[in-house]
Structure 1
Amino acid sequence: MNFRIILLLIIIITIFNGCLIFSDINKNEEDLFKSGKNYYYSSINFDLDKTKTCVAINKINQFIREYPNSCNVKEAYRLLNDLLKKIEDKNYNIADSYFLMGRYQVSLIYFKNLIKNFPDGFFKEQILYKICLSQYKLSKKKDFFRSYEEYMKYFSHLSNAKKLKFLYKKLKNI
């Protein structure tokens, strides 16, 4: 009889300890997700400070790595995409500001970094177009031809392609 009671106690303790362990795991998962989400919501205005956005990205990435089968992973990816879009927007606006000021060399650096960091980003067409224009303005003939080919590979059907084709022909005749 004592043996049965001891065995029953061991089983009960094992079951309850297991539940406590699983509840801690779920709590850690929930805490990490909530932490990332809180940083996401506190980084609404990326123009003011990028620190919270970077922390949010790190927290959400950590959550996705540690809990890939969580029911919150889909939302985590959505939040992560929104944060990355904010960074892309800000960097594009910086590059475009330099471009509009006529500081083509600096804008070229920013635009090239944008293409490197966001190869399929939202602004890809505008970036490739402005890279071509910057190189044209800087009289970088070989670089212009290379960038022109890159642009045409993806966007030959757009109106900016006609403008670039005109510049291309103009440089070919020089």
Structure 2
Amino acid sequence: MEKTKPHDDPIIYSARGKICGIYRPNPKNFLQGILLTDDGLKIPAQLTNDVATQLKVNRDLLKVAQVWKCYPRLNPPSVELVKLKSKAQTIQDLKRKGVNKFRVVGQVLRIQDQEITVLIKRNELPPEGEEPTFTLTLLGDLPSEAVGQFWKFNVRREGWNWTIVAA
């Protein structure tokens, strides 16, 4: 069961989406590894215990690209793989399954030269040593009045860039 903190903020922040790739666990720690994405990136990745159990039971899932529900992080760049969605099929299947589409909900901290920095507050208690908040930098346009406001973004991952599709 996830540890939760009492909400003194009525807003639910989030940054989540789907990504396709092959998970390669670290030989010393199965929960830590690298995700080899369908577009050639090697992203540090962390598994939840539920996903790790699923992969340990069926190691064939480590041999082919899978569609994962994940939470992105930027400092340093990484993803937390929280749910195994399905095995990757064709490019058309991936588009239908929403691969590389993310939903980001947070407070706009800064807008500068087509870069929007968004604050995300974790809704659960972070592991010891991790911060309860983090930022994501999105590419796109917003009016300058958006600074300090709460926004919901539909974002597309392109490499390690996060491009706003709709706000």
Quickly name the TM-score band, shorter chain normalised.
Answer: under 0.3
**TM-score (normalised: structure 2):** 0.21
Larger Rg: 1
Higher RCO (CA < 8 A, seq sep 6+): 2
Q: Judging by fraction of residues, say which structure has more strand.
A: 2
